[in-house]
């Protein structure tokens, strides 16, 4: 029950199938890494989990602590506890980080509840300090004119503020230099808890030097073809994805 | 010739919004002498003076309302099925931006309708050159161009005055770029100062076609250019560029319409005007995106460089957008040479006069460098330099 | 979103009306007799009556400007409109003296409450005449005049006549001519040299009767070195038939004076709102128009500044929200008429549903001037696939060292932006309204707090209905 459980998920765009019987379970308290070459369906998986309208789910099931989230609206899925850190965070002109996160938190409150503004700002500044985000950032429009590293830090800040039960980090390391990578990783590690499960989608092994996963999965052609411990990531780094491809070919023949 | 009596040209009303800021009365034809057919040696002389490009796939040279030399097309082009002829049928009518009377007049009376067809999959390596020499009277040239699927064409139209006598020119050009074809067109207008002209053009691009058109306006008196560019198929890409140099007693009036009827299409317009003492320009642009043309990018920019306090630049940059998933913008600026730039250059030891000249020619170069025909580019630079000497 | 006092301009809040008995009624339709009636009950001097008659002739002679403007103008039936309705020509100085039904209307709109909280003076116009008009005593001692235009014409003809019709001539356009013929109500303000009115003066315009035409005429004169902020709010109940509002507003900022004129127009969507607003700015004077158009069926309004003195400055900041079936045709005119004058126009529009927003602008810098600058930015946001936006600027630049720049853009809230925000837990409507508020945010920041808070709330309400 206490897991993000994806069962035989089949997803297509038009005629092209992207995910083929994709199955994966991320239990609460664990960090899983999902690795694979470009175009294998990793980002599609992230968007489908978050309820993006452009993808058609042919069959399958996604249970969040036992509750089906497939077919739900993106905001319902968010309220259910799933957070997606975007590969390419969108710019929201004129809306400051502080107001945006506040609106997101307020959307989770009941009709009679109201946000304690001073407490909110205290907590926001605390998390910003942790992520080494300048306080001047709170008044800047979300992601507008941000550098790649700033955008990713803003994603982790939102994650820290919304405290989801399951986090999907889609290529969070892309475009980051080592310093930024360390800051972002610290933020993610700080979020590690027995009450939270995370799926880190990445192309490269280097993020996993800083966020050590419990399990590593290798994705190929829309499904997981190999799972193992953190050593698997290093093996991949060393041998390249062709190694998986070759192994797969042997297995199939 | 009797044509003027049979088909009088009714001028638009001065309060017509399509003619806002324009000197409408200057387009009157009633004082104009009819054109006269030129003697053979004069025609030959004009043909000689028309060698603006070293290498062409073919050319047509016209003087007034007659051919000054037989139309010429390279054998290689003929073998590929390209045709370049005088057409019997007048061009199809197309929507104008206020100059309907002029198009009707041209269509009814033109005797020189040049027709160019490039078949499917034919790529012409060298340009087709059309030269039109204006003489006394009203010249009424017409150009009709059609390109087939995945063909390639470069077309150069040059409009000049044979001598310094006053003249009128009412021209029309229609280009239909077929699916996936690449059409590149350059128009140079460099008449004498006593010439009044209206050039109406419609450029349309089918699916995935790329159509570029560059207008260089240097000489002339009161000149109006109307360009309708139309993205008719999805993925069509149209680029319309212009450079005008306007001086004493000159008025360049340019009206444009960018229309998008198909999704994922793109149009980009850049009109630059340099205005010397007494020069006048009008730029009126409109972008019209239909509801079905989602994912359209349409841009329109007008830059006016005023080189003298007596110059006047008018700008009417417009947008009408009915599709919501579009990226459209327009910008218009009018100003002088930047003092800070001048200072910067002078601090490097360049004289003020030279610095100004460099900045002005730098302003032009953005358009000239898009011609991609080195001999024509140099010719244009030379004509502009001459214009600045007078 | 701090807890600031807000001015209530709620759509639904304005949508009510009390049956009212009028003591003065010019009947329906427009003729010389209508003008005789209006002029008669107001006991006007003969020059005013002549001015009105000239206005009527000009109005009749001028064609409808449909050669450039929308054909919807042809749907106004001038013979069905009631041109003058009032309970009397002298406004009360205390709310207790205001007739019960009229007082109830303004109380429901929250006017007396706002007056107590942050206003220096209030004029409340009910159909043709001001029902209430009062200004703080200390301002009166400084020589500030803030009265209805009927009263201003009667009590201060020496100042009124000097500037009346001078900034906007009767023949400026068909609707300024109509206003000149039948004007009634509006404000007359005079601020003496050097006096700085700290709190805003507010006028509230209420249309109460069906088929009524409101034609207020406002004249504000800020003498040398003085400062004043004027705010106007407008509402009307929703009737079956259309209603006409056609005001003329003239501002005169003398040397070094500053005038800020703020409008939040929230007419119900049966109102044709055809308004002429123009200012004259003398040497080093500053005029700022802040113009928010949210209601009405059709608004045509292009506030302008004639920059008459050296270093005068003009500004128009406007926000238009065209909801389903609405057309906001707004813009600005900047007429540079002296050296080193500068002007700034920032216009943002949002089109929702079948709403259409149009920008029209004129910027003119003539031959003999030096060192003039204009900056214009117009940005349009389209919400639905059937929404529409147009931009029609006209810019003429001559002279020496003058520079003008105009930038316009059209954008939409992208599906990916909405998805991103929904992933954080916002509903589609919340995401949309946050984006729209973000779009206007930098402009709203320029507005006085009371208005910016209310404006954000109005936008949120509009966006709630636009999705799904």
Residue A177: how many CB atoms within 10 A of its CB?
10
Q: Which residue of chain B is at minimal alpha-carbon distance from C403?
A: B335
Chain A contact partners (≥3 CB pairs within 8 A): C
What is residue C196's DSSP assignment? B
Cβ of B319 within 8 Å of Cβ of C67? The answer is no
Beta strands in C236-355 (DSSP E): 243-245, 248-253, 258-265, 271-281, 286-293, 298-301, 304-307, 313-322, 327-336, 342-351
Query: Does the distance separating the beta carbons of C434 and A74 come in below 8 Å?
Result: no
- Would you tell me which residues 349-388 of chain C have a C-beta closer than 8 angstroms to some C-beta of chain A? none
> CB distance B315–C394 less than 8 Å?
yes
Query: How high is the pLDDT of residue C33?
Result: 95
Q: Considering its fold, how many domains does chain A have in total?
A: 1
Residue in B closest to C65 by C-alpha: B17
Matching residue, tokens 């005119």: C333
- The chain A residue lying nearest C445, using CA atoms, is A94
Question: d(Cα B195, Cα B204) in Å, to the nearest integer?
Answer: 29
- CA C393 to CA B330: how far, in whole Å? 11
Collapsed DSSP state (helix, strand, coil) of residue C399? coil
Q: Give domain status of residue A115, yes or no.
A: no
- Whether A103 is covered by a domain: the verdict is no
CB contact under 8 A, B331 and C406: yes
What is the pTM (predicted TM-score) of this model? 0.85
Nearest residue to B71 (alpha-carbon basis) of B114, B102, B33, B105: B114
Report yes or no on A74 lying in a domain.
Answer: yes
C404: nearest CB among B323, B328, B333 = B333
Q: Which of C414, C419, C424 is facing A104, going by the closest CB pair?
A: C424
What is the dihedral angle through the alpha carbons of B99, B105, B111, B114, rounded to the nearest 10 degrees? 20
Any domain includes A158: no
Chain C closest-CA separation from residue B72 CA (Å):
46
C chain contacts of residue B282, beta-carbon cutoff 8 Å: none
Enumerate the residues of chain C whose CB falls inside 8 A of the CB of residue B285: none
Task: Count CA within 13 A, CB hemisphere, residue A102.
Answer: 21
Please report the sign of the dihedral spanned by the C-alpha atoms of residue B234, residue B236, residue B237, residue B241: negative
CB contact under 8 Å between C424 and A89, yes or no, is no
Q: Does B95 contact C at CB distance below 8 Å?
A: no
From first to last of its 468 residues, chain C has per-residue pLDDT tens of 232 233 333 445 677 877 788 899 999 999 999 999 999 999 999 999 999 999 999 999 999 999 899 999 999 999 999 999 998 888 999 999 999 888 988 888 888 888 888 888 999 999 999 999 999 889 999 999 999 998 999 999 999 999 999 999 999 999 999 999 999 999 999 999 999 999 999 999 999 888 999 999 999 999 999 999 999 988 888 888 889 999 999 999 999 999 999 998 888 889 999 999 999 999 999 999 999 998 899 999 999 999 999 999 999 999 999 999 999 999 999 999 999 999 999 999 999 989 999 999 999 999 889 999 999 999 999 988 888 999 999 999 998 889 999 999 998 888 889 999 999 999 998 899 899 989 998 888 888 777 777 777 777 777 776 654
DSSP state at residue B35: P
> From first to last of its 390 residues, what are the pLDDT tens digits of chain B?
444 444 578 899 988 999 999 999 999 886 566 677 888 999 999 999 999 999 999 999 999 999 998 999 999 999 999 999 998 777 788 999 999 999 999 998 898 999 999 999 999 999 999 999 998 889 999 999 999 999 999 999 999 999 999 999 999 999 999 999 999 999 999 999 999 999 999 999 999 999 999 999 999 999 999 999 999 999 999 999 999 999 999 999 999 999 999 999 999 999 999 999 999 999 999 999 998 898 899 999 999 999 999 999 999 999 999 887 888 999 999 999 888 887 777 777 788 888 888 889 889 999 999 999 999 999 999 999 998 876
B238 touches C at CB < 8 Å: no
Q: Which helix (H) or strand (E) is C12 found in, with range?
A: helix C11-14
Question: Chain C: residue nearest A159 by CA?
Answer: C424
Residues 6 or more apart whose CB falls under 8 angstroms from that of C140 comprise none
What local confidence, expressed as pLDDT, does residue C355 receive?
Answer: 94
The distance of Cα B310 from the centroid of its chain, to the nearest Å, equals 26
Tokens representing C7 are: 């001015």
CA distance, residue C361 to nearest chain B CA (Å): 9
Here the tokens at position B241 are 């560029």
Q: Rounded to 5 degrees, what angle do the CA atoms C223, C226, C230 make?
A: 95
In terms of C-beta distances under 8 Å and separation of at least 24 residues, what long-range contacts does B27-31 make, across chains too? B27/B102, B27/B196, B27/B198, B27/B222, B27/B224, B29/B4, B29/B138, B29/B168
**With an 8 Å Cβ cutoff, are B330 and C407 in contact?**
yes
Contact criterion met (CB < 8 Å) for A94 and C415: no
Across-strand partners of C82?
C28, C212
Q: How far apart are CA C275 and CA C277, in angstroms?
A: 6
Residues 42-81 of B with CB under 8 A from C: none
Q: DSSP strand E in C170-270: where?
A: 187-191, 201-206, 213-214, 217-222, 227-235, 243-245, 248-253, 258-265
Contact status, residue C129 vs residue C91, Cβ threshold 8 Å:
yes
- Cβ C183 vs Cβ C149: under 8 Å: yes
Q: Which residues contact B70 (CB under 8 A, 6 or more apart)?
A: none
Domain that holds residue A226: 3-96+164-252
Spell out where chain A has E strands.
Answer: 3-13, 16-27, 31-35, 56-64, 67-68, 82-85, 166-170, 197-202, 215-220, 223-228
Name chain B contacts of C393, Cβ cutoff 8 Å: 315-318, 332
Please count the other Cβ atoms lying within 10 Å of the Cβ belonging to residue C269. Answer: 16
Residues A96-145: pLDDT tens digits?
A: 899 889 989 988 888 888 889 999 999 999 999 988 888 888 888 888 88
Contact criterion met (CB < 8 Å) for A94 and C427: no
Express each pLDDT in C364-407 by its tens digit: 999 889 999 999 999 999 988 888 999 999 999 998 889 999 99
In a 3-state reduction of DSSP, which class is residue B338? Answer: coil
- Here the tokens at position A253 are 């023949």
The closest CB to that of C421, out of A73, A92, A162, belongs to A92
Residue A145: Cβ within 10 Å count: 10
Window 329-368 of B: residues touching C by CB (8 A cutoff) are 329-336
Please check whether residue C175 touches A, CB under 8 A. no
Nearest to A9 by CA among A217, A202, A224: A224
The reply to whether residue A90 touches residue C420, judged by beta carbons under 8 angstroms, is yes
Pairing of β B195-205 and β B152-161: unpaired
Q: Do A95 and C428 touch (CB under 8 A)?
A: no
Partners of B21 on chain C (C-beta within 8 Å) are: 394, 396
Measured CB to CB, residues of chain A less than 8 Å from chain C are 50-53, 73-75, 77-79, 83-84, 86, 89-95, 99-101, 103-104, 107-108, 141, 158, 162
B243 and chain C in contact, CB less than 8 A: no
DSSP symbols for C61-91 = HSPPSTTTS-GGGGG--TTS-B--EES-SS-
Q: Does A43 fall in a domain?
A: yes
Domain positions in chain B: 3-337
Per-residue 3-state assignment (H helix, E strand, C coil) for B227-261: EEEEECCCCCEEEEEEEEEECCCCEEEEEEEEEEC
Between CA B272 and CA B363 the distance in angstroms is: 8
Q: Are chains B and C in contact at 3+ CB pairs closer than 8 Å? A: yes
Nearest to C422 among A74, A108, A141 (CB): A74
Domain ranges of chain C: 11-301, 414-468
Contact: A103, C430; criterion CB under 8 Å: yes
C254–chain A Cβ distance below 8 A for any pair = no
Chain C residues close to A79, C-beta within 8 Å: 425
- C96: CB partners within 8 A, 6+ apart: none
On whether residue A179 sits in a domain, the answer given is yes
Contact at 8 Å (CB) between C318 and C346? yes
Task: Summarize the confidence of residues A33-60 as an average pLDDT.
Answer: 90
Distance of CA C459 to the CA centre of its chain: 19
**Is B316 in Cβ contact with C395 (below 8 Å)?**
yes
Mean pLDDT of A221-250: 85
Cβ of B313 and C397 within 8 Å?
Answer: yes
Nearest to A107 among C414, C427, C435 (CB): C427
Task: Output the furthest CA–CA distance in chain A (Å, rounded).
Answer: 64
Measured over the CA atoms of residue C86, residue C87, residue C91 and residue C96, the dihedral's sign is negative
Are residues B176 and B145 in contact, defined by beta-carbon separation less than 8 angstroms?
Answer: yes
ipTM of the complex: 0.86
Q: Which of C1, C426, C440 sits opposite A107 (nearest CB)?
A: C426
Closest among A92, A151, B298, B266 to C413, alpha carbons compared: A92
Q: Looking at residue A199, which CATH number applies to its domain? A: 3.40.50.300
Pairwise CB contact (< 8 Å): C395 & B328 = no
Measured in angstroms, the CA of C454 and the nearest CA of chain A are apart by 17
Which residues in chain B have their CB less than 8 angstroms from residue C410's CB?
319, 321, 326-329
A108's tokens? 């989770």
Using CA coordinates, name the residue in chain A closest to C429.
A75
Give C-chain residues touching B336 at CB under 8 angstroms. Answer: 400-403
Closest CA of chain C from A154, distance in Å: 13
Ramachandran angles phi, psi of C427, nearest 5° = -75, 165
Q: Given this model, what pLDDT does residue B3 score?
A: 45
Q: Is C323 in contact with C331 (CB distance < 8 Å)?
A: no
Closest CA to C2 of C463, C457, C318, C464: C457
Question: Which chain B residues are closer than 8 Å to C392 by Cβ?
Answer: 316, 318
Across the interface, do C403 and B334 touch by the CB < 8 Å criterion? Answer: yes
Q: Residue B374: what pLDDT?
A: 94
**A91 to chain C: which residues are within 8 Å by CB?**
417
Span A166-186, mean pLDDT? 88
Torsion of CA C96, C100, C102, C107, to 10 degrees: 60
User: What pLDDT score does B5 carry?
Assistant: 47
Name every chain A residue with its beta carbon within 8 A of the beta carbon of C437.
Answer: 94-95
Spatial CB neighbours of A172, under 8 Å, sequence gap ≥ 6: A85, A87, A152, A155, A156, A184, A188, A200, A202, A207
Flag the least confident range among A52-61, A173-182, B94-103, B157-166. A173-182
Of B17, B325, B332, the CB nearest to C406: B332
């Amino acid at each position: 029950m206490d897991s993000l459980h994806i069962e035989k998920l089949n997803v297509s765009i038009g005629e092209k199938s992207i995910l083929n019987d994709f199955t994966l379970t991320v239990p609460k308290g664990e960090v899983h890494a999902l690795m694979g070459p470009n175009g294998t369906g990793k980002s599609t998986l992230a968007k489908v989990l978050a309820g993006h309208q452009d993808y058609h789910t042919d069959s399958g099931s996604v249970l969040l602590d036992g509750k089906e989230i497939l077919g739900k609206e993106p905001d319902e899925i968010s309220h259910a506890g799933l957070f997606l850190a975007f590969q390419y965070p969108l710019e929201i002109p004129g809306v400051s980080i502080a107001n945006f996160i506040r609106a997101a938190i307020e959307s989770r409150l009941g009709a009679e509840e109201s946000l304690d503004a001073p407490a909110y700002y205290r907590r926001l500044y605390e998390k910003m300090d942790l992520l080494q985000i300048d306080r001047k950032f709170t008044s800047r429009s979300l992601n507008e004119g941000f550098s790649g590293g700033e955008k990713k830090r803003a994603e982790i800040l939102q994650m820290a503020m919304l405290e989801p039960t399951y986090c999907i980090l889609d290529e969070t390391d892309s475009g980051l230099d080592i310093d930024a990578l360390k800051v972002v990783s610290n933020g993610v590690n700080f979020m590690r808890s027995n009450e939270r499960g995370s799926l880190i989608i990445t192309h490269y092994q280097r993020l996993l030097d800083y966020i050590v996963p419990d399990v590593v999965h290798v994705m190929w052609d829309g499904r997981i073809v190999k799972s193992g411990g953190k050593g698997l990531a290093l093996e991949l780094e060393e041998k390249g994805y062709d190694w998986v491809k070759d192994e797969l070919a042997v297995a199939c023949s | 010739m009797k044509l003027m009596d049979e088909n009088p040209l009714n001028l638009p009303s001065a309060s017509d919004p399509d003619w806002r800021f324009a000197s409408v009365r200057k387009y009157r034809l009633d004082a104009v002498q009819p054109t006269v057919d030129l003697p053979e040696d004069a025609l030959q002389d004009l043909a000689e003076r028309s060698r603006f490009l070293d290498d062409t796939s073919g050319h047509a040279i016209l003087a007034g309302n007659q051919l000054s030399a037989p139309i010429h097309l390279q054998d290689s082009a003929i073998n590929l099925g390209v045709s370049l002829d005088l057409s019997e049928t007048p061009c199809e009518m197309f929507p104008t931006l206020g100059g309907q009377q002029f198009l009707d007049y041209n269509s009814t009376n033109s005797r020189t309708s040049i027709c160019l067809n490039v078949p499917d999959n034919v790529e012409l390596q060298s340009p087709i050159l059309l030269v039109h020499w204006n003489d006394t009277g009203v010249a009424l040239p017409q150009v009709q161009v059609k390109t087939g699927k995945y063909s390639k064409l470069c077309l150069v139209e040059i409009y000049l005055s044979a001598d310094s006598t006053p003249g009128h020119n009412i021209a029309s050009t229609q280009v239909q770029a077929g699916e996936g074809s690449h059409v590149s067109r350059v128009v140079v207008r460099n008449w004498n100062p006593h010439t009044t002209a209206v050039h109406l053009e419609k450029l349309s691009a089918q699916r995935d076609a790329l159509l570029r058109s560059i207008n260089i306006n240097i000489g002339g008196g009161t000149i109006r250019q109307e360009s309708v560019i139309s993205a008719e198929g999805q993925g069509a890409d149209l680029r319309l560029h212009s450079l005008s140099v306007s001086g004493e007693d000159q008025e360049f009036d340019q009206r444009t319409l960018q229309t998008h009827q198909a999704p994922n299409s793109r149009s980009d317009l850049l009109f630059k005007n340099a205005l010397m003492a007494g020069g006048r320009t009008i730029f009126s642009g409109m972008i019209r995106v239909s509801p079905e043309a989602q994912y359209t990018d349409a841009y329109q920019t007008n830059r006016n460089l005023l080189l003298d306090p007596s110059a006047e630049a008018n700008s009417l940059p417009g947008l009408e957008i009915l599709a919501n998933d579009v990226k459209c913008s327009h910008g218009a600026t009018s100003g002088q040479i930047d003092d800070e730039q001048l200072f910067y250059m002078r601090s490097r030891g360049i004289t003020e006069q030279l610095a100004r000249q460099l900045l002005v020619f730098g302003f032009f170069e953005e358009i000239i460098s898009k011609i991609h025909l080195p001999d024509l580019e140099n010719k244009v630079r030379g004509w502009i330099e001459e214009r600045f000497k007078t | 979103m701090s807890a600031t006092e807000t001015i209530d301009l709620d759509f639904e809040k304005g949508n009510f009306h009390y049956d009212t008995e009028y003591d003065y009624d010019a009947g329906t339709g427009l003729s010389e007799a209508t003008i005789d009636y209006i002029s008669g009950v107001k006991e006007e001097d003969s020059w005013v009556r002549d001015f009105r008659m000239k206005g009527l002739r000009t109005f009749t002679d001028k064609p409808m400007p449909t050669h450039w403007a929308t054909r919807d103008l042809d749907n106004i039936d001038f013979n069905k409109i009631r041109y003058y309705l009032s309970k009397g020509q002298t406004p009360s100085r205390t709310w207790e003296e205001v007739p019960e039904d009229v007082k109830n209307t303004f109380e429901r709109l929250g006017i007396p409450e706002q007056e107590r909280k942050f206003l220096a003076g209030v004029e409340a116009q009910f159909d043709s005449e001001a029902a209430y008009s009062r200004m703080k005593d200390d301002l009166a001692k400084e020589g500030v005049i803030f009265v209805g235009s009927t009263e201003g014409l009667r009590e201060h003809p020496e100042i009124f006549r000097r500037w009346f019709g001078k900034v906007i001539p009767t023949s400026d356009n068909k609707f300024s001519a109509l206003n000149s013929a039948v004007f009634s109500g509006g404000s007359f303000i005079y601020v003496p040299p050097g006096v700085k009115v700290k709190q805003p003066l507010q006028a509230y315009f209420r249309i109460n009767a069906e088929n009524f035409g409101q034609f207020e005429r406002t004249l504000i004169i800020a003498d040398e070195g003085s400062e004043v902020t004027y705010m106007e709010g407008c509402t009307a109940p929703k009737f079956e038939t259309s209603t006409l509002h056609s005001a003329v507003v003239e501002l005169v900022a003398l040397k070094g004076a500053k005038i800020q004129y703020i409008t939040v127009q929230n007419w119900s969507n049966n109102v044709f709102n055809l308004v002429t607003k123009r200012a004259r700015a003398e040497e080093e004077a500053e005029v700022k128009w802040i113009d928010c158009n949210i209601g009405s069926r059709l608004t045509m309004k292009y506030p302008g500044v004639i920059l008459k003195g050296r270093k005068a400055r003009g500004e128009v900041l406007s926000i238009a929200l065209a909801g389903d079936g609405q057309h906001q045709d707004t813009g600005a005119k900047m007429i540079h008429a002296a050296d080193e004058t500068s002007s700034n126009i920032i216009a943002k529009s949002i089109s929702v549903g079948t709403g259409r927003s149009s920008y029209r602008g004129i910027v003119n810098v003539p031959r003999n001037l030096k060192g003039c600058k204009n900056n214009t930015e117009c940005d349009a946001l389209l919400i639905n696939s059937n929404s529409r936006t147009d931009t029609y600027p006209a810019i003429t630049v001559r002279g020496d060292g003058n520079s003008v720049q105009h930038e316009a853009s059209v954008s939409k809230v992208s599906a990916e932006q909405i998805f991103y925000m929904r992933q954080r837990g916002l509903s589609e409507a919340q995401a949309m309204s946050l984006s729209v508020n973000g779009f206007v945010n930098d402009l709203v920041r320029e507005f006085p707090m009371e208005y910016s808070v209310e404006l954000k709330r109005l936008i949120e309400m509009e966006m709630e209905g636009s999705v799904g």
